[in-house]
Amino acid sequence: MIGVRSLEKEYHVGDHVVRALRGVTLDIAGGEFVTVVGPSGSGKSTFMHILGCLDRPTRGQYLLGGRDVSTLPHDELARVRNETIGFVFQGFNLLSRTSALENVELPLLYTRKGAVKAAERRDRARRALAAVGLTDREEHHPNQLSGGQQQRVAIARALVNEPSLLLADEPTGNLDTATSHEVMEVFAKLRAERGITIVVITHERDIAAWGTRTIDFKDGVVVSDEQHAPTMGSHRPVSA
């Protein structure tokens, strides 16, 4: 599914060069539930932006589904994001003054064939909301939803165009522990039911335990990468 080779990313701040990623090489197979951990500033978000085609590496190769996407032009990257990748952010990033349903419809406005027809958009958004358990909140606006519900709307939005890769940068960062685990449970369920590849960045060890593999970043390189048994639904890890 994903293969990165000697991935490097540099930022130029004045005449200073920040090396955010310093040669990352790894593969992620389809259906894996990867959690990315590491100290602040270690390059986790930078890595995920490149995986999500929001950014391009300074050096190195990125193969997505066998296709080298590291040098694609902007519009092509936008297409890849639309068709194969779903994003979930720490701050939810829902459009205010817009209903849950309309928020979920958003990616369907930018498909390869232009905007999907209104009726079909509505239909698919409803199904995505149902998949995250929010059937009864379609017309609610973000300010009428709890944090956990907002994040589930965001997940529905990430799902609506049926991507094969779901990327989440600290999706539980703004949520309390109980709600955090509810959100992680949604991810686990999606992976189990649809075989979606999921990459979640987190600071919390117990959230990382939901994955099947944990990658540890430090100063722009991977310091540990281990597979482990996931902690599913009924069998929750004890919080720290």
Partner 1 sequence: MKRLRALHPSIDIGFKALTRNRLQTGLTMLGITVGVATVLAMMAVGAGAQRSIEQQVRAAGLNQLTIKAGNWKPKTEDSGGAVAHQGDAEDTMRLPVDELMPALPDAGDPFAGAADVLPIDFHPEDDPMEKHDHPLAWQRLGDLEAGLGASTTLSFADAEAIRQLPGVQYVAGGVHGNARVHYRPEGGAEKRWFTRMHGTDLHLLDIKRTWTLRSGRFFTEEEQDDKAMVLVLGSVVAEKVFGEQVDPVGKDLMLWNQTFRIVGVVTSASWVVRPAAGDDEFDAVYMPYTTTHQLLNLTKLNDITVTAASTGDVSALSKRITELLRQRHNITNEKPDDFTISTQATRAITTGGLPPNVAAAIAGNVKELERVTLEQLAGTLERASGTMRWLLAAVAAVSLLVGGIGIMNITLLSVTERTKEIGLRMAVGARGKDVTRQFLTEAVAISLAGGAVGVLLGLVASYLISSTLRWATVVSPASVFIAFGVSAAVGVLFGWYPARRAAELDPIDALRHE
Ligand X SMILES: Nc1ncnc2c1ncn2[C@@H]1O[C@H](COP(=O)(O)OP(=O)(O)OP(=O)(O)O)[C@@H](O)[C@H]1O
**Helices 147-159 & 118-131 angle (0-180, nearest 10):** 130
Tell me which residues touch ligand X (CB under 6 A).
Answer: 11, 13, 18, 20, 38, 40-46
Q: Which contacts qualify for 177-182: CB closer than 8 Å, 24 or more apart?
A: 177/239, 179/146, 179/147, 179/148, 179/151, 180/204, 180/207, 181/207, 181/236, 182/148
CA torsion sign, 217 to 223 to 229 to 231? negative
Cβ 74 to partner 1, closest distance in Å?
6
* Per-position x/- string for 10-49, each x denoting binding to Mg ion as judged by CB under 5 A, each - no binding: -----------------------------------x----
What three-state secondary structure class fits 175? coil
Dist. CA 145–CA 153, nearest whole Å: 9
Which one, 68 or 76, has the nearer CB to partner 1? Answer: 76
Which one, 26 or 192, has the nearer CB to ligand X? Answer: 26
Which one, 60 or 192, has the nearer CB to partner 1? Answer: 60
211 binds, among ligand X, Mg ion, partner 1, none (CB under 5 to 8 A by kind): none
CA nearest neighbour of 187 among 155, 164, 214 = 155
42 binds, among ligand X, Mg ion, partner 1, none (CB under 5 to 8 A by kind): ligand X
Tell me which residues touch partner 1 (CB under 8 A).
Answer: 49, 52, 54-55, 74-75, 78-79, 81-83, 87, 89, 93, 95, 106-107, 109-111, 115, 118, 157, 161
Strand pairing report for 67-68 and 59-64:
antiparallel
Cβ 203 to ligand X, closest distance in Å?
7
Q: Which residues make up the interface to Mg ion (CB under 5 A)?
A: 45
